[in-house]
Structures are given as structure tokens and as C-alpha cells.
């Protein structure tokens, strides 16, 4: 965990190391649920790429002509063991991994609003397979730490970066609840697709506020509902078939949450309706996707009868 050497003195170094060791002991068990994803990660490590390009929509790791056809097929077979691929797209030694989310569309909306990341310490909370972390590398951050408690996503990123070799990108099996170990550590923090999964969203934002350095920036993206009033939908059981969704706010409600958590300079810079263009089934994500979550007779409502989701993008600062 070489990222520990990049953290400021304010970080709780001993507790971070202790937590990391506990999580590594857990994830390194030789049980089926761990080996399912650890095995393909370890297999991919023997294919370091000569060419990596994170500047374009499709993150490219290796070119097709770097490997013989048999090796290309071996890489592809290991990549398919990480299905479902939620974030992407990636091009890996000629294999095009078309993920469920066309995540480059989200990145395009963020690009003009990103703070200076050169030489900065960055965190991506709930980083999934690291697509956005790879997209950050052209901005030359000192380090990006991905917090990701999912074993599948954790090993998927490790597999990808074992080939891509981006030394300033790191991942650990951490969640939002571990931010208390990182007081005043981060210059930039990304929280995308997370806040509506938290049962106490304002407390979550306060933890994020505490983890930012003075002058630090939060980039937040969330599901939202349309409307001008400062309200949030609290679904009875599920929202768009997802049981782990708690509060889905309007833009003004989200701004109030951020203000209550201590943030200033709050800028809602984009809000748009979700669509099946951006989230859909592919050969790399063969399960239910966006259209399955909507009322089949009224696409403006979810299957439960709630307003269909918008996506909202906010930038906020810590003074």
C-alpha cells in the first residue's frame, strides 16, 4: 500500500495500515468467492502493456498487435470472468469491452468543471473498476486512491492496472465509513453514484468535508428527481428495482445537504434525464438494465411508479 507514503501528517497512518492489513487478510482467503476474481487478476498480470492511452472515450490498454492471437484470446477469457462490467468502455489488446454504462458521457460532462489535479492527492469513492481513475491520469495527479469495497470491482481494477502500469493509481477495499481515517488528506474527491445509497446522506457529506484539505474540491454526481422544491424521494422498498436506494433529492435539496455539511461555492452544473443510450445491456453486461427499471407503459415513471431518475452534477468547495 505505497499510497500511505503520499498522505499528509494529518492522516491516521497507523489505523489505515491496520485496517488495510485486516482487509487483505480477509480478501486473501482461499475461498471460492475470493478466488473467482483473484484468479483472473493474477492471470492478467503476465500481460504488461506497451501502449496505454487514457485520453479518449475508450481507455486503451495494449494494442492488438502486441500479443499473438492465442494470448489475445486468453486475455479476453479472463476479462469476461469479471462480467458484469458496469463502467467503461475499455479497449484491451484489441478486445472492446462495451460496459453497461457509457461512462465517457459522464466524463465529458465533468471535463470543463474539473479542478486542477496536477500534483494533487485525489480520492474516488466507490471507484468500481477504475474507469474514471484512468481518465484522471492525463491530469497528472500525484496519486489517486480508489475506495472500493466490492471484491469484484477491486480485483477488476487490479487486473486492468497490472496491465496498464499506472503507478499513481491505487485501490483499497475501503468504503465511505473509512474516510474518518483520512482527515484533511485530499485536494479533490469524487463521489459519483454513491450519495443516494447512503441512509444518512448529510453525515456522509460531513465525512467527505472533513477528509478534504482547506480549499479542496468535491465533484459529486447523483440520481435526482425533477422539481424546484428542496425535497427528496424516500422509496418504500426499492427505487428502479434497487433496494439500496434511500434518498433521491432534487437539485435544491442536494445543495441544502451540501451547505449543511459545510460546503461553499456549490455549483449545480448539469442535470439531465437518464436514458437507455447511456445505460443498457451489452455482451459484457447481460442482466437487467435501465429499460427494465421503468414502467413499460410510461417511461417517465419507474417500475414502482416513482419519477424516473435524472442525473445531477455538482461541484462544491471547502474554504
Say which CATH number the domain at 188 has: 3.40.50.150
pLDDT of residue 157: 98
Asked if residue 1 has pLDDT above 90, the reply is: no
Q: What is the pLDDT of residues 259-288, one digit of tens each?
A: 999 999 999 999 999 999 999 999 999 999
Instruction: Classify residue 5: in a domain, yes or no.
Output: no
Instruction: Classify residue 168: in a domain, yes or no.
Output: yes
Instruction: Classify residue 7: in a domain, yes or no.
Output: no
Task: Give 69-73 contacts, CB < 8 A, sequence gap 24+.
Answer: 71/47
Most distant CA pair in the chain, distance: 59
Structural domain boundaries, residue 282:
13-317
Matching residue, cell 471484491 = 151
Q: What is the pLDDT of residues 78-117, one digit of tens each?
A: 999 999 999 999 999 999 999 999 999 999 999 999 999 9
Task: Tell me the CA distances in angstroms from 153 to 87, 145, 250, one per residue in order.
Answer: 10, 14, 29
Task: Tell me the CA distances in angstroms from 1 to 5, 77, 146, 202, one per residue in order.
Answer: 8, 29, 12, 30
Q: What are phi and psi of 213, to 5 degrees?
A: -70, 155
Asked if residue 305 has pLDDT above 90, the reply is: yes
Instruction: Classify residue 4: in a domain, yes or no.
Output: no
Asked if residue 122 has pLDDT above 90, the reply is: yes
Instruction: Classify residue 42: in a domain, yes or no.
Output: yes
pTM of the model: 0.97
All 3 cell numbers of residue 309? 431518475
The alpha carbon dihedral of 215, 219, 222, 224 has a sign of: positive
Instruction: Classify residue 6: in a domain, yes or no.
Output: no
Q: In total, how many domains does the chain have? A: 1
Matching residue, cell 447512503 = 198
Instruction: Classify residue 8: in a domain, yes or no.
Output: no
Asked if residue 231 has pLDDT above 90, the reply is: yes
Amino acid at each position: 500500500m505505497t499510497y500511505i507514503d503520499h498522505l499528509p501528517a494529518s492522516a491516521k497512518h497507523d489505523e489505515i495500515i491496520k485496517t488495510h492489513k485486516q482487509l487483505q487478510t480477509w480478501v486473501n482467503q482461499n475461498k471460492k468467492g475470493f478466488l473467482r476474481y483473484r484468479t483472473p487478476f493474477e492471470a492478467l498480470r503476465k500481460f504488461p502493456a506497451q501502449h496505454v492511452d487514457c485520453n479518449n472515450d475508450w481507455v486503451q490498454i495494449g494494442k492488438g498487435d502486441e500479443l499473438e492471437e492465442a494470448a489475445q484470446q486468453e486475455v479476453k477469457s479472463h476479462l469476461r470472468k469479471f462480467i458484469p462490467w458496469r463502467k467503461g468502455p475499455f479497449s484491451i489488446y484489441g478486445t472492446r469491452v462495451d460496459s453497461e454504462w457509457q461512462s465517457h458521457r459522464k466524463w465529458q460532462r465533468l471535463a470543463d468543471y474539473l479542478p486542477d489535479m496536477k500534483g494533487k492527492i485525489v480520492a474516488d469513492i466507490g471507484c468500481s473498476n477504475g474507469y474514471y481513475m484512468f481518465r484522471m491520469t492525463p491530469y497528472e495527479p500525484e496519486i489517486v486512491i480508489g475506495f472500493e469495497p466490492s471484491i469484484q470491482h477491486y480485483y477488476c481494477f487490479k487486473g486492468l492496472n497490472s496491465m496498464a502500469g499506472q503507478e499513481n493509481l491505487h485501490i483499497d477495499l475501503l468504503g465511505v465509513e473509512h474516510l474518518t481515517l483520512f482527515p484533511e488528506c485530499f485536494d479533490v474527491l469524487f463521489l459519483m453514484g454513491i450519495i443516494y445509497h447512503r441512509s444518512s446522506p448529510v453525515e456522509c457529506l460531513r465525512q467527505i468535508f472533513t477528509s478534504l484539505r482547506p480549499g479542496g474540491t468535491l465533484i459529486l454526481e447523483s440520481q435526482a428527481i425533477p422539481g424546484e422544491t428542496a425535497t427528496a424521494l424516500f422509496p418504500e422498498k426499492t427505487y428502479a428495482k434497487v433496494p439500496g436506494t434511500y434518498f433521491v433529492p432534487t437539485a435544491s435539496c442536494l445543495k441544502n445537504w451540501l451547505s449543511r455539511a459545510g460546503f461553499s461555492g456549490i455549483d449545480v452544473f448539469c442535470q439531465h434525464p437518464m436514458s437507455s443510450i447511456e445505460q443498457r445491456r451489452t455482451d459484457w453486461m447481460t442482466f437487467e438494465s435501465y429499460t427494465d427499471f421503468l414502467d413499460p407503459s410510461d417511461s417517465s415513471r419507474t417500475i414502482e411508479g416513482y419519477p424516473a431518475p435524472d442525473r445531477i452534477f455538482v461541484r462544491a468547495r471547502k474554504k
